[in-house]
Amino acid sequence: MKQRRRIYEGKAKILYEGPEPGTLIQHFKDDATAYNAAKHDVIEGKGVLNNRISEHIFTALNRMGIPTHFIKRVNMREQLIREVEIIPVEIVVRNIAAGSLSQRLGIDEGTVLPRSIIEFYYKSDSLGDPLVSEEHVTAFGWANPQEIDDMMALAIRVNDFLSGLFLGIGIQLVDFKIECGRLFENDMMRIVVADEISPDSCRLWDIGSNEKLDKDRFRRDMGGLVEAYTEVARRLGIMNENE
Ligand code: C5P
């Protein structure tokens, strides 16, 4: 097989050069990390599940006119995507208190928030992705005010869509993270949703039982991660084909 040029390797994914200029191949690994990679494991089957679940979500976002980097899934572990310039800011949207919000502010996990909250985190492994304000984002030139507006608008649209999608299959969307990128096309630049959206990047609770169907199963040593992700995929109506 032809050797592909590896552009970037992250904790859970690898980016390879794509078949056409301006495209990349996004490869999903089985690696799971938490607490800024202090905790690491390989969970067989996770990459395949995230590839399928993220494909399902990004295809729907594209159909709804929410711009993303996603073109198509090409095999069990890989997708064809548009090359974007990743903005080094993670956008987290929260509907229910959990995780670092509960820890930082002492709000009981499971408390329904009076309104959805958007937060920014600076993408930096060495600093452990610190929480930052819009002021930091603009002052340090990570994104300009228009780009922040665009990212927030995308995050709100994704939240509305995902909340409804998961509610329809008996799952509460507690919170999630997205990454955005600058897509350059025909002398134009626009901000699109990039990276992945999967149970690695969302908190998903079963509505009947409150069972966690997301990466907290790994973070909190609960076990049953592949079973939980498979359940999410099953309810979304994917993973039925023999591949
Ligand atoms: O840990 P925290 O409560 O801040 O996470 C909020 C949401 O963002 C969770 O759904 C988590 O899975 C996601 N997240 C992520 N990648 C990070 C940090 C958080 O996907 N580096």
> What pLDDT digit, counting tens, does each position of 109-166 carry?
999 999 999 999 999 999 999 999 999 999 999 999 999 999 999 999 999 999 999 9
Nearest CA to ligand 1 atom 3: 99
Nearest CA to ligand 1 atom 15: 201
Average confidence score pLDDT of the chain:
96
Question: What pLDDT does 13 receive?
Answer: 98
pLDDT at 93 over 80: yes
The distance in angstroms from the start CA to the end CA of the chain is 21
214 CA closest ligand 1 atom index = 12
Distance 112 CA to ligand 1 centre (A): 17
Provide the strand spans (E) within the chain. Answer: 6-9, 13-17, 23-28, 31-34, 39-42, 70-75, 78-82, 85-96, 112-122, 131-132, 171-185, 188-194, 202-206
Task: Quote the pLDDT of residue 36.
Answer: 87
Is 217 a pocket residue for ligand 1 (Cβ < 6 Å)? Answer: no
Domains along the chain?
Answer: 6-82 (3.30.200.20), 85-224 (3.30.470.20)
In the predicted model, what is the mean pLDDT of residues 99-104?
98
What was the pLDDT predicted at 67? 98
Residue 99 alpha carbon, nearest atom of ligand 1: 3
Q: Is 201 in the pocket of ligand 1 (CB under 6 A)?
A: yes
pTM score, two decimals? 0.97
Q: ipTM exceeding 0.85?
A: yes
Give the nearest ligand 1 atom to 174 CA.
Answer: 10
pLDDT of residue 242: 43
Q: If you measure from the C-alpha of residue 241 to the centroid of ligand 1, how many angstroms do you get, rounded to a whole number?
A: 30
Percentage of the chain beyond pLDDT 70 is: 97
Q: Look up residue 195 and give its two tokens.
A: 């990276």
